[in-house]
């Protein structure tokens, strides 16, 4: 069941934000005005965790321009998507997370479908999400869901991460 976040379930945000496996990265290529990518698999994988979404999430409650949807399996929050209208007529996915125990079970797909419904109800032109090139599993997910690479930013993480991670911006146009 997917429901909108309220003051009653605000405490469930970030419960699904759990470590993920870094198994490789994508290598984006821009040729003749179009993006494509290949994959590079690491010999050894490792685990990584992104920080929790720390914005004033109370501001998302009953807002016409932003929303949080929480996915429940019985009473356990196992997924979330945090969305807001962006200046460029897209719905920006600020965060999407599925608990480790429920990955690969179509929870993310249903959260994207709910995001599409919300964006269309707001007359937006599509969805945009950003992830790192080393989050190969997320990149595969966005590609499988019909997103396309729209940009790669080599500087976004340069001051906080010295490993050379690149930000990849994925777009789904309606």
What residue ranges do the domains of the chain occupy?
Answer: 2-173
Superfamily name with CATH number, domain 2-173: Gcn5-related N-acetyltransferase (GNAT) (3.40.630.30)
The C-alpha angle with vertex 108 and arms to 146 and 87, in degrees rounded to 5, equals: 60
Please tell me the least confidently modeled range out of 10-14, 73-77, 157-161: 157-161
Specify the pTM. Answer: 0.94
- Check if the beta carbon of residue 139 is closer than 8 Å to that of residue 133: yes
Tell me the pLDDT tens digit for each residue of 36-52. Answer: 999 999 999 999 988 77
- Check if the beta carbon of residue 69 is closer than 8 Å to that of residue 115: yes
């Amino acid at each position: 069941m997917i429901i909108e976040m309220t003051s009653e379930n605000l405490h469930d945000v970030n419960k699904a934000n759990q470590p993920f496996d870094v198994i490789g990265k994508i290598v984006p290529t821009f040729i003749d005005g179009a993006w494509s990518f290949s994959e590079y698999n690491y010999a050894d994988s490792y685990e990584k965790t992104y920080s929790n979404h720390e914005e004033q999430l109370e501001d998302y409650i009953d807002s016409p321009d932003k929303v949080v949807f929480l996915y429940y399996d019985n009473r356990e929050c196992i997924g979330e998507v945090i969305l807001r209208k962006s200046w460029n007529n897209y719905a920006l996915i600020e965060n999407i997370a599925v608990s480790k125990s429920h990955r690969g079970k179509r929870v993310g797909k249903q959260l994207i479908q709910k995001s599409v419904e919300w964006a269309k109800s707001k007359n937006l032109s599509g969805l945009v999400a950003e992830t790192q090139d080393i989050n190969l599993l997320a990149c595969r997910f966005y590609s499988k869901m019909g997103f396309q690479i729209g940009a790669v930013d080599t500087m976004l993480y340069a001051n906080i991460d010295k490993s050379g991670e690149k930000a990849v911006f994925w777009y789904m146009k309606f």
